[in-house]
Chains A and B, each alone.
Chain A
Amino acid sequence: MKRHEIAGVEINAVSIRELLFSKTMLLAYLLLALGAYGVWEVFSERYFLLTANAFDAGLHPGSTEVAEAMKEAVFGVGGEVKREQPWTLYIVNYMYMIYTGSAIIFFVALAEIFNVKLIQRTAAGFITFGLAMVFGGLFTIAVDLNILHMHWMFLTPNIRAGMWLMLPLYTVYIPFVLFEIYLLITNKHDWAKKVAYGILILSIMIDLIEYYIQAKLFNMNTARHLWTTYPILTLYFIVSAFVAAIAIMVLYSYFTHRRSLGDDFHILITFLRKSSLYVIALLAMYEATAYLFIDKEWGAIILFGEYKIYFYIYLFLAVGLPFALEFKEHSNNIWIIIGSLSVILGTYLGRYIFVYGGNAYPMSNRFGLGFEKYGEYEQAKEFIFFSPHSSEVLVVVGSLGVVLAIYKILDMLFSVSKIREH
Chain B
Amino acid sequence: MNYAMVLDYQNCINCKACEVACKEQNGVQLGADKQRIWVSTYENSIFGNPFVAFHPSQCNHCVDAPCVSVCPTGASYFAEGGLVMANKDKCILCKGCMEACPYDARFVDDKYVAVDKCTFCFDTRISKGETTTACQATCPTKVRLFGDLDDEKGELVQLLKKRKFFVLKESEGTVPKLFYLFPEKDTSFAENSIGKGTTIHTWESYKPVIDKAVAMRRKS
Please list the residues of chain A having a beta carbon within 8 angstroms of any beta carbon in chain B.
Answer: 46-47, 49, 51-55, 57, 69-70, 72-74, 76, 78-81, 83-84, 86-87, 144-150, 152-153, 155-158, 160-164, 167, 217, 220-224, 358-359, 362-364, 366-370, 372-377
Closest to B108 in A: A81
Q: Which residues of B contact A80 (CB under 8 A)?
A: 108, 110
23 A-B pairs, CB-CB below 8 angstroms? A52-B111, A53-B23, A54-B23, A74-B31, A78-B34, A79-B31, A79-B108, A144-B93, A148-B113, A149-B92, A152-B74, A153-B92, A155-B73, A157-B73, A217-B96, A224-B99, A363-B104, A364-B40, A366-B169, A369-B42, A369-B44, A373-B40, A374-B33
B71 at the interface (CB under 8 A from A): yes
A320, B23: Cα distance in complex, Å: 54
**B 142-181 binary contact with A (CB < 8 Å = 1; else 0):** 0000000000000000000000000011001110000000
A76, B31: Cα distance in complex, Å: 9
B113 touches A220 (CB 8 A): no
Please list the residues of chain B having a beta carbon within 8 angstroms of any beta carbon in chain A.
Answer: 23-24, 27-34, 40-42, 44, 53, 55, 57, 66, 69-75, 89-96, 98-104, 106-111, 113-114, 168-169, 172-174, 193-198
A413, B101: Cα distance in complex, Å: 48
A86 touches B73 (CB 8 A): no
B38 → A minimal CB distance (Å):
8
B169 → A minimal CB distance (Å):
7
Q: Which residues of A contact B44 (CB under 8 A)?
A: 369
B30 touches A53 (CB 8 A): yes
Q: Which residues of B contact A76 (CB under 8 A)?
A: 31
A148, B113: Cα distance in complex, Å: 10
Q: Which residues of B contact A70 (CB under 8 A)?
A: 30
Q: Which of B100, B107, B174 contacts A220 (CB 8 A)?
A: B100
A51-B29, A53-B30, A149-B91 given; 11 more Cβ-contact pairs under 8 Å? A74-B32, A79-B108, A83-B107, A149-B89, A156-B73, A156-B90, A161-B69, A164-B73, A363-B103, A366-B55, A369-B53
Q: Which residues of A contact B110 (CB under 8 A)?
A: 46, 49, 51, 79-80
B32 touches A376 (CB 8 A): yes
Say what secondary structure dominates the interface of chain B: loop
Q: Which residues of A contact B173 (CB under 8 A)?
A: 222
Interface centre among B33, B53, B109, B173, by most chain A C-beta atoms within 10 angstroms, is B33
Q: Which of B90, B91, B196 contacts A368 (CB 8 A)?
A: B196
Closest to A47 in B: B113
B32 touches A163 (CB 8 A): no
- Of all A-B residue pairs in the complex, the 7 with the closest CB atoms, nearest first, are A368-B195, A223-B102, A86-B95, A164-B72, A372-B40, A146-B93, A163-B72
Q: With A73-B29, A222-B66, A368-B195 as given contacts, are A163 and B91 in contact (CB-CB < 8 Å)?
A: no
A336 → B minimal CB distance (Å):
38
Q: With A52-B29, A54-B23 as given contacts, are A86 and B99 in contact (CB-CB < 8 Å)?
A: yes
Closest to A163 in B: B72
A161, B77: Cα distance in complex, Å: 12
Q: Which residues of A contact B96 (CB under 8 A)?
A: 161-163, 217, 220-221
B65 → A minimal CB distance (Å):
10
B27 touches A53 (CB 8 A): yes
Closest to B112 in A: A51
Interface centre among B28, B90, B197, by most chain A C-beta atoms within 10 angstroms, is B90
B66 touches A220 (CB 8 A): yes
A369, B9: Cα distance in complex, Å: 15
Q: With A73-B31, A366-B55, A368-B194 as given contacts, are A83 and B98 in contact (CB-CB < 8 Å)?
A: yes
Q: Which of B28, B73, B193 contacts A53 (CB 8 A)?
A: B28
B80 → A minimal CB distance (Å):
18
A146 touches B113 (CB 8 A): yes
Q: Which of A47, A160, A163 contacts B94 (CB 8 A)?
A: A163
Q: Which of B74, B107, B109, B172 contacts A223 (CB 8 A)?
A: B172
Q: Which residues of B contact A78 (CB under 8 A)?
A: 31-34
A369 touches B33 (CB 8 A): no
Closest to A223 in B: B102
